[in-house]
Amino acid sequence: MAGKDFKTIDEQIEILRSRGLIIEDETEAKDFLFRNNYYRISGYSLTLRKNDVFAKSATFRNIEDIYHFDHEFRHIIPPLPTTSSIFCAFVVGIRQ
C-alpha cells in the first residue's frame, strides 16, 4: 500500500475547499492545520461529509469546534475504556 503524498498547508486548504468545505478565515485555518495536522483532524469531519463531499453548510469552524469539544471531553471525563468514551461522545453529539 502506497503512502499518501505530502501536501502543503495551502494544498490541504484547497483540497478541503474543493470538497465543499466553507473556510471563513484562511489564516486561522492554516494555523489550525499547522498545529494539528490534516490527517489528524480529518476524523473530526466525518459527521460533516459523505463520500468526501462536505454538507453545504459545513465550515472549518465546525471541525475546530468538534476537535475542541473532543479535547475537553477527554480531559473532563476520567479515563474510561475506549468504547465507553466513544458511546458518551456519540450520545452528547446526537443531542446537539
Per-residue pLDDT tens listing for the chain (96 residues):
467 788 999 999 999 999 999 999 999 999 999 999 888 899 999 999 999 999 999 999 999 999 999 888 877 776 656 666 666 666 666 555
Task: Dig out the grid coordinates for 83 from the structure.
Answer: 468504547
Does the residue 89 lie in any domain? yes
- 54 bridge partner residues: 49
Q: Which three cell numbers stand for residue 52?
A: 468526501
Angle ∠(13,61,96) on CA atoms, nearest 5: 140
Q: Is residue 78 part of a domain?
A: yes
Number of H helices, E strands in the chain: 5, 2
The answer as to whether 71 is a domain residue is: yes
Whether residue 3 is contained in a domain is answered as no
Within-domain flag for 77: yes
The total domain count for the chain is 1
The per-residue pLDDT for range 64-84, each reduced to its tens digit, is 999 999 888 877 776 656 666
Q: Is residue 27 part of a domain?
A: yes
Query: What domain range includes position 88?
Result: 9-94
Q: What pLDDT score does 59 carry?
A: 97
